[in-house]
Amino acid sequence: MDTLDDHAKDISEDAAAEAGPNSSLEMNLKEQDTGAGGPIILFFILGLFASLVVGWIVFPKLLYSKKKQPIEFNHVFHVEAVDNGCESCHFFREDGTFSGAPKLAQCIDCHEEIQGISPDEIKFVEEYVSKEREVPWLIYSRQPDCVFFSHAAHIQGARMDCVACHGHMGESESLKVYEENRITGYSRDIWGKSIGGFKKNTWDRMKMDDCAECHRENAANIERKNIQTPTQRLIGHMVNLVSPGTSTFDKGGSIQTERDPCFACHK
């Protein structure tokens, strides 16, 4: 064993001696690497930092355009003036459908003529009421056409409060700036003000995850308890693939998809 070890040592020593003339170059290289270790990490941090700034701060500024509503509106003032709270203007029709943003027909009861001195009211009466043009309100809560949402089921059936999804809109004295997603055309309020998708209140976001969240939390009392977004579904499948039977998603009413029927909420 000794002889073998010694032999190996000899060989390596020989090799080092043979490489003599080049050793300084090797040293230089090593020195350079050690010296540049700082900048490389710096570059990494720079890249990380820059992209985080772009992703969290620049991107949302680029993604959304800011639009003003065609005319100003004071909810507080109007809620005080009407008898029936929100439902005075945002009412259910006889057939159970929800009227959404009021049409001229509702405003005209009071605003057939100019009532006050507010320049926005004057503009409203002159530009819209007298010309019989509907106000092109920008709707913060407008959902894509494929979404089927019944206000009646939630407000009249489940006795939910408007605030749960729409926040304290009725307490606003002016209309906030409408931030329109340049790609989809929908309001920023759907994804939520937080670009990271974080929410503090139930009304901060209006995505399908938020529907699902509320439906999960209240699963004991409601019918559609198994709403799953495609992402949740994908994760569930992957978990099932790795260790079958551990995924916790329940089976819904549909035999094909094992979920609640898609068409309950999707047109």
Partner 1 sequence: MKIGRRGFLSFVIGGAAGTALSPLPWKLMDDSSIWTQMWPWTPVPEDGEASYVNSVCTLCPGHCGITVRKIDNRAVKIEGMKGHPVNNGGICLLGLSGLQLLYGPMRVKTPLKRTGKRGQGQWEKISWNDAVSEVVEKLRDIRSEGHPQTVGFISGFDRGTVSRLFERFLTAYGSPNFMRMPSVRDSYELAQYLMQGVQALPGFDFENSDFVLSFGSGLIDGWGSPVRMSRVHSAWQSAGVKVIQIEPRLSNTAAKSDKWIPINPGTEGALAMGLAHVIVKESLYDADFIENNVEGFFDWKNLVIDKYSPDTVASITGIDSRTIVVLARGFANASKPLAVCGRGNGTTPVNIDECMAVHALNALVGNIHKKGGVWAVSEPDYINWPEIEMDAKAAAGMQHERLDGAGSKTYPFTRYLLPRLPETIDPGEKNPLQALFVSGANPLYTHPDTQAVRNAFDKIPLVVSFSSYMDETAQNADLILPNHIYLERYEEVPTPAGMIEPVIGLSRPVVEPQFNTRHVGDVILQMAKGLGGSVAKTFPWDSYDSCLKETLGDLWNYLIDKGFWSNTGAMPPFFGTSYETASGKFELINKDNGSIPQFKPVSIEGDEKDYPLLLIPYDSMRLACGFIGDPPFVMKTVEDSILKGKDVFVELNPKTARNQGLREGQRVVLTTPKGKAEVKVHLFEGIMPGLVALPRGLGHTGWDEYLAGKGINFNTLIGPVEDPDSGLDAAWGIRAKLEKA
> Residues 187, 139: contact at Cβ < 8 Å?
yes
Smallest gap from Cβ 195 to partner 1, in A, equals 5
Region of 6-14, 55-63, 157-165, 250-258 interacting with partner 1 (CB under 8 A): 55-63
| 89, 157 Cβ separation under 8 angstroms | no
What DSSP state is assigned to residue 266? B
Query: Whole-angstrom Cα distance, residue 124 to residue 120?
Result: 6
Helix (H, G, I), strand (E, B), or coil: what is residue 162? coil
Q: Does 29 bind partner 1 (CB under 8 A)?
A: no
Across 167-188, b (16+ Cβ under 10 Å) vs e yields bebeeeeebeebbbeeeeebbb
Query: Of 13-21, 44-52, 115-123, 211-219, which part binds partner 1 (CB under 8 A)?
Result: 44-52
Q: Is 52 in the site for partner 1 (CB under 8 A)?
A: yes
Burial of 205 (0-12, 13-18, 19+ CB in 10 A): buried
CB of 76 to partner 1, least distance (A): 27
Judged by CB under 8 A, the stretch of 51-59, 65-73, 214-222, 234-242 that binds partner 1 is: 51-59
Beta partners for residue 187, in sequence order: 180
**The binder of partner 1 chosen from 100, 102, 167, 170 (CB under 8 A):** 100
Alpha-carbon gap, residue 221 to 264, rounded angstroms:
17
For residue 51, the minimal CB distance to partner 1 (Å) is 3
Shortest CB 152 distance to partner 1, Å: 14
Shortest distance, position 141 Cβ to partner 1, whole Å: 12
* Strand blocks (E) in the chain: 64-67, 178-181
Q: Could you tell me how far CA 204 lies from the centroid of its own chain? A: 9
- 45 is a contact residue toward partner 1 (CB under 8 A): yes
At residue 103, what is the residue type?
K
Among 27, 29, 46, 76, binds partner 1 (CB under 8 A): 46
Count CB-CB contacts under 10 A for residue 138: 17
CB of 213 to partner 1, least distance (A): 16
Under the binding rule (CB under 8 A), the answer on residue 148 touching partner 1 is no
Which residues lie near partner 1 (CB under 8 A)? 36, 39-41, 43-52, 54-56, 59, 63, 93, 95, 97, 99-100, 103, 144-146, 181, 183-186, 191, 195-197
